[in-house]
């Protein structure tokens, strides 16, 4: 009888309660928490990318908008001057880039909402749709300006369009920089759209 | 005994088996089936939009690629001729549109996969990423070609670039049509990206 008592004491009752009672609860609690952190990480990255894209779009608009060059030679009635508003494509570029930068500023609060609530699908879908439209605007403006910049650099002998960058070197440099800024913004938008899609997918 | 026999015959034993055995199963089966049908509808619509976008991209590439015009006046050493490969932007346009049309053709099997398996997230994310890249390519080519077409129509007095559409009217019409085709394709791509995002979201 004494040996039977000692065997029952040897079994610890609390360890079995821990292993039996709490073990099935832990994976259930850890599942959504870890994927929520993953979604939150994507949302924070989205916010940072958005800031960079805004800087790129603003820089592109500013570089294009301040591109003025007046040549030191002039006649009595005429002054040789190049400015972005000589070409309608560059005007469109400035307007489009300013619009995109403004949209990115207004989209920052929605990006913060996706950081605070990683599982809310509504703000993400809104951002994805508007990002896609902004991507289209950015790429169209960048592509159009790039075509004109190429023409300004190289000209075209078949249509008798002369290159103007020999005369207006500084103007061309600024304009080329603006195009590069818009293409960087477009690349960031592609990343933003892909990130939003990744975050929208079911876990 | 004869009336008792007739009453037992009046009760159909199979109707109770149907109402009791199959009724609780139906709502369980209808829940995922209805949302799956919704996703399947999106996938079918995606497939049709993809076909339309392919037609638009192919038409744009073909219209631009066949844009040739030879003027009836010529000198002994020179013939007045306009073709899409006189302008590098139009060459890029043809290549980009052909690439996009080829991509759309290759993406059709993946679209069929999303119709057959509405809940598979992998093919949808792949299509969304590639659609976004193709949208960028289409828009860049369309925007660049539009800028050059505008220049060909209106010219620019500040840079001494003359309009060429007075001479080459047919060429300009074909080229403008190609640009319109590319913009239609870009719009369809925006819809495709938004549709994929909708289908990816959790139900």
Whether A55 and chain B come into contact, CB under 8 Å, resolves to: no
Q: For CA atoms B153, A99, A60, A168, give the dihedral sign.
A: positive
Query: Using CA atoms, how far apart are residues B138 and B147, in angstroms rounded to an integer?
Result: 14
pLDDT tops 80 at residue B103: yes
Whether A32 and chain B come into contact, CB under 8 Å, resolves to: no
The arithmetic mean of pLDDT across residues B11-17, rounded, is 46
CA B30 to each of CA B7, B16, B117, B118, B199: distance values in angstroms, whole numbers, following the listed order: 37, 21, 17, 15, 19
Q: Do B141 and A145 touch (CB under 8 A)?
A: no
Percent of chain B having pLDDT more than 70? 78
Query: Using CA atoms, how far apart are residues A180 and A177, in angstroms rounded to an integer?
Result: 5
Q: How far is B164 from chain A (nearest CA, A)?
A: 7
Q: Residue B1: its pLDDT value, please? A: 46
Q: Residue B60: its pLDDT value, please? A: 95
Query: Using CA atoms, how far apart are residues A108 and B41, in angstroms rounded to an integer?
Result: 33
Q: When comparing pLDDT for B188 and A69, which is higher?
A: B188
Please list every residue in chain B whose beta carbon sits closer than 8 Å to the beta carbon of residue A132: 132, 135, 190, 193-194
Q: Residue A26: its pLDDT value, please? A: 43
Q: Residue A108: its pLDDT value, please? A: 94
Complex ipTM over 0.85: no
Whether B140 and chain A come into contact, CB under 8 Å, resolves to: yes
- What would the two tokens of residue B187 be? 């719009």
Structure letter (DSSP) for residue B81:
E
Average pLDDT, chain B: 82
Please list every residue in chain B whose beta carbon sits closer than 8 Å to the beta carbon of residue A136: 135, 139, 186, 190
Please list every residue in chain A whose beta carbon sits closer than 8 Å to the beta carbon of residue B121: 201-202
pLDDT tops 80 at residue B32: no
Residue B198 confidence class, pLDDT cut points 50, 70, 90? confident
Whether A71 and chain B come into contact, CB under 8 Å, resolves to: no
Q: Do B148 and A151 touch (CB under 8 A)?
A: yes
Residue at token pair 């006649």: A75
Q: How far is A120 from chain B (nearest CA, A)?
A: 10
Tens-digit pLDDT profile for residues B82-99: 888 888 999 999 999 999
**Cα diameter, chain A:** 125
Q: Do B140 and A140 touch (CB under 8 A)?
A: yes
Name which of A128, A140, A193 is nearest B139 (Cβ-Cβ): A140
Q: How far is A103 from chain B (nearest CA, A)?
A: 18
Tens-digit pLDDT profile for residues B133-186: 999 999 999 999 999 999 999 988 888 888 888 888 888 999 999 999 999 999
- In a mutational test of the B interface, the residue from A131, A134, A140, A147 whose CB has the highest number of chain B CBs within 10 Å is A147
Please list every residue in chain A whose beta carbon sits closer than 8 Å to the beta carbon of residue B87: 156, 158-159
Query: How would you write the pLDDT of chain A (203 residues) with one tens digit per residue?
Result: 444 454 444 544 444 444 444 444 444 444 444 567 888 888 999 999 999 999 999 999 999 998 888 777 666 666 677 888 888 999 999 999 999 999 999 999 999 999 998 888 888 889 999 999 999 999 999 999 999 999 999 988 888 888 888 888 888 999 999 999 999 999 999 999 999 888 887 65
Where are the extended beta strands (E) located within B4-86? 68-74, 79-83
- What would the two tokens of residue A53 be? 């894209």
Q: Residue B53: its pLDDT value, please? A: 95
pLDDT tops 80 at residue B35: no
Q: Residue B107: its pLDDT value, please? A: 94
Please list every residue in chain A whose beta carbon sits closer than 8 Å to the beta carbon of residue B136: 135, 139, 186, 190
- Convert chain A into a string of H (helix), E (strand) and C (coil): CHHHHHHHHCCCHHHHHHHHHHCCHHHHHHHHHHHHHHHHHHHHHHHHHHHHHHHHHHHHHHHHHCCEEEEEEECCCCEEEEEHHHCHHHHHHHHHHHHHHHHHHHHHHHHHHHHHCCCCHHHHHHHHHHHHHHHHHHHHHHHHHHHHHHHHHHCECCCCECCCCCCCHHHHHHHHHHHHHHHHHHHHHHHHHHHHHHHHECC
Q: What angle do CA A53, A55, A58 make, to 5 degrees?
A: 105
pLDDT tops 70 at residue B23: no
Q: When comparing pLDDT for A173 and B200, which is higher?
A: A173
Task: Determine which helix (DSSP H) or strand (DSSP E) holds B45, and give its type and residue range.
Answer: helix B25-65
Cβ under 8 Å to A: B residues 96-115: none
Whether B160 and chain A come into contact, CB under 8 Å, resolves to: yes
With contact defined as beta carbons under 8 Å apart, do A124 and B198 qualify?
A: no
Q: Residue B55: its pLDDT value, please? A: 95
């Amino acid at each position: 009888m004494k040996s039977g008592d000692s065997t029952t004491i040897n079994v610890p009752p609390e360890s079995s309660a821990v292993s039996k009672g709490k073990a099935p609860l832990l994976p259930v609690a850890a599942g959504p928490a870890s994927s929520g952190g993953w979604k939150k990480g994507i949302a924070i990255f989205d916010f940072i990318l958005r800031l960079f894209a805004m800087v790129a779009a603003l820089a592109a608009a500013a570089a294009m908008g301040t591109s003025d060059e007046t040549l030191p030679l002039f006649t009595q009635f005429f002054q040789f001057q190049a400015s972005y508003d000589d070409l309608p494509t560059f005007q469109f570029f400035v307007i489009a880039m300013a619009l995109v930068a403004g949209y990115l500023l207004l989209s920052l609060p929605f990006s913060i909402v996706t950081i605070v609530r990683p599982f809310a699908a509504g703000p993400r879908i809104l951002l994805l749709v508007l990002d896609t439209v902004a991507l289209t605007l950015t790429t169209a403006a960048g592509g159009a300006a790039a075509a004109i910049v190429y023409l300004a650099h190289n000209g075209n002998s078949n249509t008798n369009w002369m290159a103007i960058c020999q005369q207006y070197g500084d103007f061309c440099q600024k304009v080329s920089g603006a195009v590069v800024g818009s293409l960087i913004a477009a690349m960031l938008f592609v990343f933003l759209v892909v990130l939003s899609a990744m975050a929208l997918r079911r876990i």
